[in-house]
Amino acid sequence: MPFKGVIGRTSSAAWVKGVADMMSAQGLDTRSLFAQAGIDIAVLQDPTARIPADAFSQVWELAVAQSGNSHLGLDRPLAARYGYLDVVGHALASAPCLRAGFELLARQMAVVSDAATFALQKEDTQGFWLILGHIGTARPVPRQRVEYGMLTLLMLCQWLTRQKVEPLAVEWVYPAPANPAPLRVAFGVPMRFDQPASRMLLARQDMLSPIPTYNPSLWDLHGRLVQERLDELGQTHISTRVRSELARVLHQGGEPRRDVIAARLHLSDRTLQRRLLAEASSFAQLLDATRCELARQYLGDAHRSLGEVADLLGFADQSNLFRACRRWFGMPPGQYRAQLPANGPSSHHPG
């Protein structure tokens, strides 16, 4: 049955179609894989369709099992060919430089997937971290899905700049897989595991290099088109924007204060309060809802301790996490984790 509109957290049909084509190129029976996950693959021909994020994760799990390849998708030519970023990709191609393009992506990632978070973080004088995460999914996100997304970003950098952009460092939140060599080959640098975030460091000169296809008029036009798509998805409501920023701040270990979020949205604290009130919402409600979504995600990954989960949610100590979980789930965090489906740490990305 086609998935139209927004049903929970979703990914664009264009992005999912690219992944399906990549899997087909690897010899997988994608029609069967999508059917097993409850998705009619024909819906991917509709560029306005949205695919439930949990169902998409299940496709990845099934594909890894069917192929017997725990590093499915770690192929540079395939990532370069099949990384469809929808209308956002056109906007990036007309951007002045990678930094400007990725700043746009950070604001408008929801067009590609509102289950994904993307942030750009300056690293002193070395360059910029590209940080990927996920939020609001009941199903743990397979690490292969995150690795493919990161590799697609790297290949996008090379295509946009027409230069051999290579990362300075790559880090993952999950433990090292049994054989990390394919990751080393795909990204060209040694991997670091069990890190606070899944991220890739690019050199400052690469991020600031001009994009040859930069066109100010098209940059403005595509920016408006992406904004219209966000409007259609309901992603321009202030409450939605606040939740997106909260997810980014928490993911980066920041302090989820209202004044911090207001500043990130280029609003005064008072204006933010007023606009939230106009949507019958409040900052406290949104922070609680965002923490609840992230808690489902983090507790779904067995290798994270409860103390670490409490830290990631911005709680001062574990007692706050216990009280919150009793309120959200009707049970303490350990019991909630125990009743989740099997979630081996080596195969899933918790953020």
Are residues 351 and 300 in contact, defined by beta-carbon separation less than 8 angstroms?
no
User: What ranges do the domains of the chain cover?
Assistant: 10-216, 237-345
For range 197-210, the mean pLDDT: 95
For 223-242, the pLDDT digits (tens) are: 888 888 877 776 668 888 88
Architecture of domain 10-216: Alpha-Beta Complex (3.90)
pLDDT above 90 for 300: no
pLDDT at 342: 57
Q: What is the pTM of this model?
A: 0.79
For 130-173, the pLDDT digits (tens) are: 999 888 777 888 999 999 999 999 999 999 999 999 999 999 99
124: left (phi over 0), alpha (psi -120 to 50) or beta: left
For 65-117, the pLDDT digits (tens) are: 999 999 999 999 999 999 988 788 888 999 999 999 999 888 888 889 988 88
Architecture of domain 237-345: Orthogonal Bundle (1.10)
Strands (E), the chain: 10-12, 50-52, 116-123, 127-134, 141-142, 169-171, 191-192, 198-203, 348-349
